[in-house]
Amino acid sequence: MTRGCSDHCTWQRGRTPRPTMRSTLLIVAAVLGWALALAGNAATPAVDRGNNEISIAITQEPQWLTTIRATDTVSFTVLDHITEGLLTRDVNNRLVGGVAERWELSDEKATFWLRRDARWSDGEPVTAHDFVFAWRQVANPENAAEYGFLMRMLPNGEAILAGDMPPEALGVEAIDDHTLVVHLVSPTAYFLDLVSFITFRPVREDFYRAQGGRYAADAENMISNGPFILTEWVHDASMRMEKNPYYWNRDAIPLDAINVPYITRDPNARFNLYLDDKIALADQLQLSAMKMALQQHQKLRSFSDGTVFYLGFNHREGRPTGNRNLRRAIQSVYDVSELTYKVIGVPGNLPAYTLFPAWLTGDEGQSLNVQYPPHKPELSIERGRRYLELAKQELGVEEVPPLSLLLDDTANASSQAEYFQNVMARTLGLEVRLDKQIFKQRLAKMSAGDFDIVAAGWGPDYNDPMTFADLFVSWNLNNRGRYSNPEYDALIREAQQTTDQRRRNAIFSRIQDIIYEQVVVVPQYERGYIYALDKRVAGVRRYHIGGDPNYNYAYIVESPRAPESAD
Amino acid sequence: MGSYIARRLLSGVITIWFIATATFFGMHAVPGDPLLNDKAVTPEIRANLERAYGLDKPVPQQYLIFLGNMLQGDFGISFTQQNRRVNDIIAEHFPVSATLGVLALLFAAGGGIVFGALTALFRGRLPDYLIMLLVIVAVSVPSFVFAGLGQLAILQLNRLVGFSLLPVAGWGSLSHMLVPSLVLGLGTMAYLTRLMRSSMLEVAETDYIRTARAKGLTPQRIFFRHQLRNAILPVVTVLGPAIAAITTGGFVVELVFAIPGLGRYFVQAVQQLDYTVIMGTTVFYGAFLVLMVIAVDIAYGFIDPRIQVNKSLS
């Protein structure tokens, strides 16, 4: 049909090449037909009841699926399904025994007795030596692990990281195959929580060495001691995790497999896949998707991911923001609830009045924020202007010079910064100049102290207020505004030396006061997400720390509830 | 012909060296620190990281090491996907981009030639205006809009028929490629339509067409043998750069349709200052573009015997 039609075509209506159009249409139809013939058979459904599997999407390719060096949430998410630490979290998010059956924690050391039925996915037992090897690798300078600093809690950790001692000197020992003793430099109240973190998971030496530098590079270079095994991994395209038949607690794991057929950063693409019944959970949706979902009576959920965003000040000498009254002026007029509800507008985000997010626990399991309520600044333009006048006098200037606000070059960061800029101009007459940079350059300028104010965020590394509280001690490298206060430092030192949780919580409350009174930073909001979860799936857990979401205990419900109407 | 190709290849190698050098120093001049992350690291860990990536040496020495490795075809390990060699990234993801690109180019070239010829045939009449209006839309609307609309259209189509007629996103079968490649090729198709239209109109005014008409050839013979074949030449000229533009420009389409192509590496590497991936993808795409241009120049000679490469360009 595609043969040139110079000798058999008939021409009608002047020069209209009708047969050409007809053959073009035929070609297009043929291509379409070919495509359609192949369609619809490759994709797995969101929920496959027959095979007891679900499909999900992740937001990016995991950077490195090794517990020794992983730092990103996506790697953590996958690793949380295929590895298990000494301790782990149960269905109700409580800390329970993982590879360890029982344990003892004292001020000087922690002892873990490993369960004998904990096995790797090739049937070999998980032993105390696997933990010793893994932790030495984390401390080993050759691996340049970013979470290496966690090993400074163990004797010689610091010297090993600096290359002054061999990794074998690390203060952790395997008494026998099933007894692990960890020595501690100082009492660490949250150590049991810490050993459930990714960086403290086991790695088996013989398997690691047998990969010849390709450990965790592909699915066949990996071995699992967690509920699932990574059986397929097409880089940046898809993954598949199947239930680990050797996992000691396999009876508690409901799903037989988790498919990850899509990797995309685009939240709208994820939502469209969800609507097309291809994935069971569409995470981190945007406002546009939310509106569409509500129109279609889809149920949405919200989740606060544990990260607090704040405006950090540059406290270095010579910076106007080093002046407390200037910072108080800003604090007095900046309405973070308007920012959260009007400017950001995505449900799940909460206005923040403290550095400590709402999910942190205080005494007797109550929320730290309930036990020690944060100070909510009373907004007053008049008071703000008074502080500003004081600041001008102290700084010895007629007008405060324009302040530079350093931020990431994302749409969200921009709209928030523009709001701040507008409020400052409107209320205090302060000029704020926006300094938008790519992520790596924002960090570089932040580290170099090249800013007055910076829009930054902090996510927790372990489940203890300390992961936020020590952010502004003078020796913390993440204290990029160089805030320095001997009282603050002394309080943190005390909290690091004691395991009395009541005393520690009281200290954190005092830290909260200092951050407010001295306006070390202005907390803005606790980040939240909205997401859609298939109603046939239950038991998906959301975490503030490490990998999130988690499907270890997810299951397909027998009979889905009647469709729920939109909120 | 042989010596011509050799000369072109030599100048191609020099071009690639120039691209690599300019990119290398440009990349190091870009503000930002590739090793910085959310969490600050101690000076010791920082030093270990610098050593691991060879950033502890002065930039000129890094450049020489890079050149040496590049000559051996080794671009090193990615900074962000830290267990993957850049060579593997290119080898695994370029075929995806290329497949998508070739399909997009088929749409673009086929559509461009057909629509361009149609507008010329119907010059000043309704089909002409209609197609040119669509061309303006296709040129001015950015591809992420078309990508999003395309995805929504698939979703609605699937709902209408009640099963997954076309996949919303993903990669694997031809059905995955259909809409993304259409979206990807749309801009080029519009550009080629305009090019083809003006080229057709220009040829229509030439003496040999008038001669052909005078000697009584049928309109279709004039159209296909004389007008179309001559008008197509400028289109072929831009095909080389167009192939490169389409295969490298798939970032947005790859993102929206969750396609594991190289395009997103090309863009994200710059955003994340992933030095080795920036160098690997830039040099690779540079070489690809140079080769395409040479290939098109050679193909020229076959399409138009009047152009003799070994004489006219010596």
DSSP string, A293-309: HHHTT---EEEEEEEEE
Q: What is the pLDDT of residue A11?
A: 36
Question: What CATH number did the domain enclosing A536 receive?
Answer: 3.40.190.10
Confidence of residue A126 (pLDDT cuts 50, 70, 90): very high
Phi, psi (degrees; rounded to nearest 5) at A311? -95, 115
Same domain for A309 and A299, yes or no, is no
Contact A235 B84 (CB under 8 A): yes
Cα B163 from Cα B167, distance rounded (Å): 10
Q: What is the pLDDT of residue A4?
A: 37
Cα A285 from Cα A270, distance rounded (Å): 8
Chain B contacts in chain A segment 382-441 (CB below 8 A): 437-441
Q: What is the pLDDT of residue B1?
A: 64
Query: Which chain A residue is nearest to residue B53, measuring alpha carbons?
Result: A144
pLDDT at A412 over 60: yes
Q: How is residue A381 written in tokens? A: 């333009």
Query: Is A294 within the bounds of a domain?
Result: yes
**For residue range B77-129, what is the model confidence (pLDDT) as tens digits?**
888 887 889 999 999 999 998 889 889 999 999 999 999 989 988 888 898 99
Q: Tell me the torsion sign for CA atoms A461, A465, A471, A475.
A: negative
Contact B164 A40 (CB under 8 A): yes
Query: Is A41 within the bounds of a domain?
Result: no
Residue among B52, B164, B178 minimizing CB distance to A144: B52
Same domain for A355 and A490, yes or no, is yes
Q: Which of A210, A243, A270 is the last residue of a domain?
A: A210
Q: What is the pLDDT of residue B292?
A: 83
Question: What CATH number did the domain enclosing A401 receive?
Answer: 3.10.105.10
All residues of chain A having their beta carbon less than 8 Å from the beta carbon of residue B84 are 217, 235
**For residue range B172-206, what is the model confidence (pLDDT) as tens digits?**
888 889 999 999 999 889 999 999 999 999 988 88
Residue A437: which domain range? 305-527
Q: How is residue A489 written in tokens? A: 């430092």
Query: Is A4 within the bounds of a domain?
Result: no
Cα B188 from Cα B214, distance rounded (Å): 36
Q: What is the pLDDT of residue A19?
A: 45
Same domain for A293 and A326, yes or no, is no
Residue among A69, A272, A459 minimizing CB distance to B155: A272
Same domain for A513 and A551, yes or no, is no
Same domain for A292 and A337, yes or no, is no
User: What are the domain boundaries of chain B?
Assistant: 89-272
Query: Is A386 within the bounds of a domain?
Result: yes
Contact B37 A57 (CB under 8 A): no
Residue among A36, A63, A447 minimizing CB distance to B81: A63
Our CA-based measurement puts residue A439 at a distance from the nearest CA of chain B, in whole angstroms, of 7
Walk across the sheet containing A53-58 and list its strands.
A47-48, A53-58, A257-263, A238-243, A228-234
Does any CB of chain A come closer than 8 Å to the CB of residue B3? no
User: Which ipTM did the prediction report?
Assistant: 0.84
Chain A contacts in chain B segment 62-121 (CB below 8 A): 80-84, 88-89, 92-93, 110, 114, 121
Confidence of residue A26 (pLDDT cuts 50, 70, 90): low
**For residue range A359-395, what is the model confidence (pLDDT) as tens digits?**
898 888 888 999 999 999 889 999 999 999 999 999 9
Our CA-based measurement puts residue A441 at a distance from the nearest CA of chain B, in whole angstroms, of 4
All residues of chain A having their beta carbon less than 8 Å from the beta carbon of residue B168 are 269, 272-273, 275-276, 278
Residue among A149, A275, A444 minimizing CB distance to B36: A444
Our CA-based measurement puts residue A380 at a distance from the nearest CA of chain B, in whole angstroms, of 34
Q: Which of A176, A210, A244 is the last residue of a domain?
A: A210
Q: Which of A210, A239, A268 is the last residue of a domain?
A: A210
Our CA-based measurement puts residue A500 at a distance from the nearest CA of chain B, in whole angstroms, of 28
**For residue range B118-163, what is the model confidence (pLDDT) as tens digits?**
998 888 889 899 999 999 998 888 888 999 999 999 999 998 888 8
Query: Is A256 within the bounds of a domain?
Result: yes
Same domain for A453 and A386, yes or no, is yes
| SS3 (DSSP) at A362 | coil
Contact A63 B114 (CB under 8 A): no
Residue among A11, A39, A149 minimizing CB distance to B175: A39
Cα A60 from Cα A57, distance rounded (Å): 9
Residue among B165, B175, B255 minimizing CB distance to A264: B255
Q: What is the pLDDT of residue B307?
A: 66
All residues of chain B having their beta carbon less than 8 Å from the beta carbon of residue A11 are 218-220
Query: Is A3 within the bounds of a domain?
Result: no
What is the overall mean pLDDT for chain A? 88
Same domain for A325 and A299, yes or no, is no
Query: Which chain B residue is nearest to residue A69, measuring alpha carbons?
Result: B82
Query: Is A160 within the bounds of a domain?
Result: yes
Residue among B31, B169, B177 minimizing CB distance to A262: B169
Mean pLDDT of A395-412: 93
Say which CATH topology domain B89-272 has. MetI-like fold (1.10.3720)
Q: How is residue B189 written in tokens? A: 């198709």
Q: What is the pLDDT of residue A25?
A: 61
Instruction: Identify from A221, A266, A451 which residue to disrupt to test chain B contact, counting B C-beta atoms within 10 A and taking the largest count.
Output: A266
* Nearest of A465, A526, A399, A462 to residue A195 by alpha carbon: A462
Question: Beta strand A87-89 with A95-97: parallel, antiparallel or unpaired?
Answer: antiparallel
pLDDT at A292 over 90: no
Chain B contacts in chain A segment 445-474 (CB below 8 A): 447, 459, 461
The secondary structure of B197-250 as a DSSP string is HHHHHHHHTSHHHHHHHHTT--HHHIIIIIIIHHHTHHHHHHHHHHHHHHHHS-
Residue among A24, A216, A263 minimizing CB distance to B258: A263
What is the overall mean pLDDT for chain B? 86
Contact B167 A42 (CB under 8 A): yes
Q: Radius of gyration of chain B from Cα atoms?
A: 24
All residues of chain B having their beta carbon less than 8 Å from the beta carbon of residue A411 are none
Same domain for A237 and A373, yes or no, is no
Query: Which chain A residue is nearest to residue B96, measuring alpha carbons?
Result: A237
Crossing angle for the helix pair B275-303 and B59-71, nearest 10 degrees?
50
Map A223-292 to HEC letters. CCCCCEEEEEEECCCEEEEEECCCCCCHHHCCCCEEEEEEECCCHHHHHHHHHCCCCCEECCCCHHHHHH
Residue among A4, A35, A148 minimizing CB distance to B174: A35
**Distance spanning both ends of chain B, measured CA to CA:** 10
All residues of chain B having their beta carbon less than 8 Å from the beta carbon of residue A5 are 220
Contact A438 B172 (CB under 8 A): no
Does any CB of chain B come closer than 8 Å to the CB of residue A35? yes
Of these ranges, A43-47, A177-181, A232-236, the one predicted with the greatest mean pLDDT is A177-181
Confidence of residue A322 (pLDDT cuts 50, 70, 90): very high
Same domain for A191 and A311, yes or no, is no
- Burial zone of A10 (CB within 10 Å; 0-12 exposed, 13-18 middle, 19+ buried): exposed
Mean pLDDT of A347-356: 92
Contact A441 B172 (CB under 8 A): no
Same domain for A85 and A144, yes or no, is yes
Q: What is the pLDDT of residue B142?
A: 85
Query: Which chain A residue is nearest to residue B222, measuring alpha carbons?
Result: A6
Residue among B48, B49, B272 minimizing CB distance to A440: B272
- Burial zone of B298 (CB within 10 Å; 0-12 exposed, 13-18 middle, 19+ buried): middle
For chain A, the domain total comes to: 3
Chain A contacts in chain B segment 156-215 (CB below 8 A): 158, 163-178
Question: What CATH number did the domain enclosing A83 receive?
Answer: 3.90.76.10
Q: Contact, B267 vs B91, CB < 8 A?
A: no
All residues of chain A having their beta carbon less than 8 Å from the beta carbon of residue B218 are 6, 11
Q: Radius of gyration of chain A from Cα atoms?
A: 28
Same domain for A310 and A234, yes or no, is no
Least confident of A291-300, A404-413, B15-24: A291-300
Chain B contacts in chain A segment 10-29 (CB below 8 A): 11, 15-17, 20, 24
Q: Contact, A274 vs A47, CB < 8 A?
A: no
Same domain for A518 and A550, yes or no, is no
Query: Is A119 within the bounds of a domain?
Result: yes
Write the CA distances from A243 to A65, A74, A143, A191, A258, integer angstroms: 18, 19, 30, 29, 8
Q: What is the pLDDT of residue A42?
A: 54
Confidence of residue A18 (pLDDT cuts 50, 70, 90): very low
Q: What is the pLDDT of residue A29?
A: 63
Helical ranges in A431-541 per DSSP H: 439-448, 466-469, 486-497, 501-517
Cα A458 from Cα A441, distance rounded (Å): 17
Q: What is the pLDDT of residue B139?
A: 87
Q: What is the pTM of this model?
A: 0.85
All residues of chain A having their beta carbon less than 8 Å from the beta carbon of residue B170 are 42-43, 238, 261-262, 278
Confidence of residue B251 (pLDDT cuts 50, 70, 90): confident
